[in-house]
Amino acid sequence: MAAAILLSLGSSCATPDRHHEVIISIPEQRMALLQDGVPLASYPVSTSKFGLGDVPGSSGTPLGKLEIARKIGAGAPAGAVFKDRQRTGEIVSPDAPGRDPIVSRILWLRGLEPQNADAFSRYIYIHGTPEERNIGLPVSYGCVRMRSRDVIELFDIAGTGARVTITIEPLEALVPSLTPAAARVASAAPLPDVQVR
């Protein structure tokens, strides 16, 4: 019993990751990953088709400052299906017809501001999707979707406590040192209508 308590305490007392930061631009449907302020990578993402907000039941993507509260799925193969944050044993290929489960990895977000205080209880994640053909378009139900290979890379780099900013600003405005090639790809992404709830 005491050993279980110590293990539990040890896992919750891990040092927060203050070296990595994730910035997600809603209009560009793009994410930048930074280490100590220096861009490491840029990925296409998919945010909510229902607009922005943190109202329970809205299916909106929350804006503002958040953090990675929990990481789920370490070691799972790409395409591994999760239901209620547990592996089902099924593996789904990218763009499998008729399938839209959460796959590969889950980074569960906790809001740090009043405008996104319900994000954790609303189960807002950064996660993999088999619908990779739709990455770059706002088609999610509130979460931030990524291609499996990208979310696995992000999962392996960013730790719990890493800050996440979801914004209506372009990435170039917040990360001026983003490489020109990454910025060009981001600016070529379609610009969705942004609705805040």
7-36 in b/e burial notation, b at 16+ Cβ within 10 A?
A: eeeeeeeeeebeebbbbbbbbbbbbbbbee
SS3 of the chain: helix, strand, coil, percent, to 5: 20, 35, 45
- What is the number of other CB atoms lying within 10 angstroms of the CB of residue 120? 16
Q: Could you give the domains of the chain?
A: 17-187 (2.40.440.10)
CB-facing half-sphere around the CA of 50: CA atoms within 13 A: 16
* Residue 178: predicted pLDDT: 82
**What three-state secondary structure class fits 114?**
helix
Question: Where does the chain have alpha helices with state H?
Answer: 2-12, 148-157, 171-174, 180-187
* Residue 180: predicted pLDDT: 55
Task: Return the bridge partners of 23, or none.
Answer: 32, 165
What span, in angstroms and rounded, lies between the C-alpha atoms of 98 and 101?
10
* Residue 150: predicted pLDDT: 98
Q: Phi-psi bin for 133: left (phi > 0), alpha (psi -120 to 50), beta?
A: alpha
Task: Return the bridge partners of 67, or none.
Answer: 110, 163
User: What pLDDT tens digit does each residue of the chain (197 aa) get?
Assistant: 333 333 333 344 579 999 999 999 999 999 999 999 999 999 999 999 999 999 999 999 999 999 999 999 999 999 999 999 999 999 999 998 888 899 999 999 999 999 999 999 999 999 999 999 999 999 999 999 999 999 999 999 999 999 999 999 999 998 988 865 444 443 344 434 444 44
* Residue 13: predicted pLDDT: 54
Q: Are 153 and 59 in contact (CB under 8 A)?
A: no
* Residue 177: predicted pLDDT: 83
Question: Where does 42-166 have alpha helices with state H?
Answer: 148-157
Q: What is the pTM of this model?
A: 0.84
